[in-house]
Amino acid sequence: MRIGFLIFPGLTQLDFTGPYEILARLPGAEVHLLWKNAEPVRTEHGLALIPTTILEACPPLDVLCVPGGPGVNELLTDSEVLAFLKRTAPAARWVTSVCTGALVLGAAGLLQGRRATTHWMSRRFLADFGATPVDERVVVDGNLVTGGGVTAGIDFALRIVAEVAGRETAEAIQLAVEYDPHPPFDAGTPRTARPAVVAAAERLAVERQRYRAEQVARAITLLRR
């Protein structure tokens, strides 16, 4: 079972490490950390990740996963990354993303006519790539599986395990990692968070989201060429 995670500068580490912890426990799993070169990749807050496989040497994958994070903005117009996704996705059993990684799939033309989700701040961009935005934690549309923001990657990965190896295996892995969340606050989505909290989160992200909108527009232009 070959699983490939695209890692990149500015990645949100939990987008990757959450599903990695689940999928790496899948019996027979062979996990590849994919990037352009073998140099360490720094995540959003500086954690160093070591790629294991360069893009041009990537073997056929059963699961292709694109995490998200601020670095997604650069990937939306990265011709090398988008070309890799375009040639790798058609042969993958599952094409997947966590958080804003869905936008990169969109920039590669892989969301057209599909239902998908992503982080709540960026969900509106999915329609620009021809997808139907869905306000759910995990969305399955054929072989396309997309997860919402950050922590949804754990839920997404458990869904993949259940599809591949059955519910019992998925539940055993969930128990092994004691995934039984009880957050101290009911502020995990804009539906339940207080308006002042939502506004504060949006203020902190203004510049990133402005640049993201510009990059989405550039990506769409590239797709139409």
The residues annotated as belonging to the active site are 99
Find the length of the chain. Answer: 225
Provide the total of helices (H) and of strands (E) in the chain, helices listed first.
Answer: 8, 11
Smallest CA-to-CA distance from 8 within 62, 61, 60, 69 is with 69
Report residue 126 as tokens: 């999915």
Helix ranges (DSSP H) in 24-93: 72-75, 79-88
Exposure on the CB side of residue 98, measured as CA atoms within 13 A: 30
